[in-house]
A and B are shown apart, each in its own frame.
Chain A
Amino acid sequence: MIPLHWYLWLSAVVFMVGVAGFLMRRNIIIMFMSIELMLNAVNISLVSFSRYLDDMRGQILVFFIIAVAAAEAAIGLGIIIALFRNKVTAHVDEANEMKG
């Protein structure tokens, strides 16, 4: 059996990739995808913990996360479309009316 920490390393690496993408990319769709990546990294670790602890609750949380992520994406894309209508861009740096 593959030891737990391998999964955790995988999860951590995927999470960091997500964080890096979130911080470095300026296109809002890509930033959104990076967040999905982070969530999926969480899912990996939850599932592996769940298996390791022999406890189903971790996996149930994963289902919730998947559902919520879908809802978030729906609303998020709605707002992004509204932004696009106003500015014809999906670039966050263009949304910079407010400063201070």
Chain B
Amino acid sequence: MILIWLILIPLMGGLLAWLFSRGNDRLPRWISLIALIIDFILVLLLWMQYPERAGLTNRSWLVDINLEWIPRLGISFHLALDGLSLLLVMLTSFLGIMSVAASWTEIKERVGFFHFNLMWSLAGITGVFLSLDLFLFYFFWELMLVPMYFLIALWGHENRISAAVKFFLFTQLSGLLMLAAILGLYFVHARGTGIYTFDYTQLLGTTMGSTEGMLLMLGFLIAFVVKLPAVPFHTWLPDAHTEAPTAGSIILAGLLLKTGAYGLLRFAVPLFPHAALDFTPVAMALAVIGILYGAVLAFGQTDLKRLVAYTSVSHMGFVLLGIFAWNELALQGAVIQIICHGISTGALFIIVGALQERIHTRDMERMGGLWTSAPRMGGVGLLFGLASLGLPGLGNFVGEFLVLIGAYTVSIPMTAIAATGLVFATVYSLWMIQRTFFGPREVYLKVPDLNMREMTVMAFMVAVIVWIGLYPQPVINTAKGALNALQKNAGAMTSFGKISYPVSTGADRDTK
């Protein structure tokens, strides 16, 4: 039941925020904030009860709810939570709170409707992380896009309409391909067993021909890598990120991209292990290309928001690399990278949003020397810039490092090339900080520094990224059970995962 509440609370919060928005701009903000905080507390409570937090059990599903929905077609309302979804749902409500707080003064028009859209897209994302029925998954997958579209199209910047349409078309088209693949799997499974079902747990281990499996896997994969995004499906991302309002950018970068990674982890690989194994070289190559391409293009940007957007392409390349390396270290790395990228990029977008609110431009040519007038903003910006380049002690380092170690056991050349991405990251991150906060002082002599509200937001984000950077063990423990289960599902049928050497993570030591 708690899982349904996790989705219902933002849905109802959004509705209430909208209903109470007549002539009152403050109420919707508070309603959304409170709803999300309740949501976050619920997840936190769940996590506290979760014995695997300390690495105690290996049980896969922590909470599981399965209701009939459309039995005629074998569709059920099946939600379940394991360590992986728990972490991602936690991230969702956390970033949700941050994005409401960050857009507190940015949004002045149609405040109620804005929060309605924000909350509904968060609810959709939560649903994606929790569904175990493929139909339900597709349902939420599509559902989260519509409010996101409105967020970009109505409250975005200059070229918002075209960016929103591009975003929507890319994701919808790929989503429809996934629908076709889901149905393909549904019928293949029925052909083999006579049971028509969309239930994930039953569809695992469906036997199919290799071409068939490859085609179906590609249907899933395309939807997920468009979201992720991997080269060459990334072209929607810079536009959408740049044009979206701050809250929209946070959700896009911090959460929406993660649904792609989650889909790969949960569905694309475990459902089609053979095909995924065959596809590994291509996927890893795409990942490495993405890492380098994103980094190089980030370096070429003058629009600050666009720069951050391209760094996402680069960072998500690591996630893709980690997922397709498919050994425990790499997967753990991918999960940590997912969380840390969500937080660090979210924070960078908040800073860019705050800057834009103050100086009305995102053009780095017109910035510079902001440190003197806004040292707090500069400090936080520097910290997240460093996080983005992978400085040890901050969360992203842990993620990227684990991914690289994991990938090393699979393909040394790929890993070597991917590692050079870190060098590029150093260059563009420092360059970005240098251009904005240091360097020659431009016209903006007096820029108000971050205020209390913004500092509170930043404090939370800094705390999390430093915490994961210094002590990632709780995260690793939480994800461990889920990742092991995923590996077992995929590895039972192929040599997948056997490529790697059994490497002990801290979790083993804790339990023994």
Does chain A touch chain B in the assembled complex, meaning CB atoms less than 8 Å apart? Answer: no
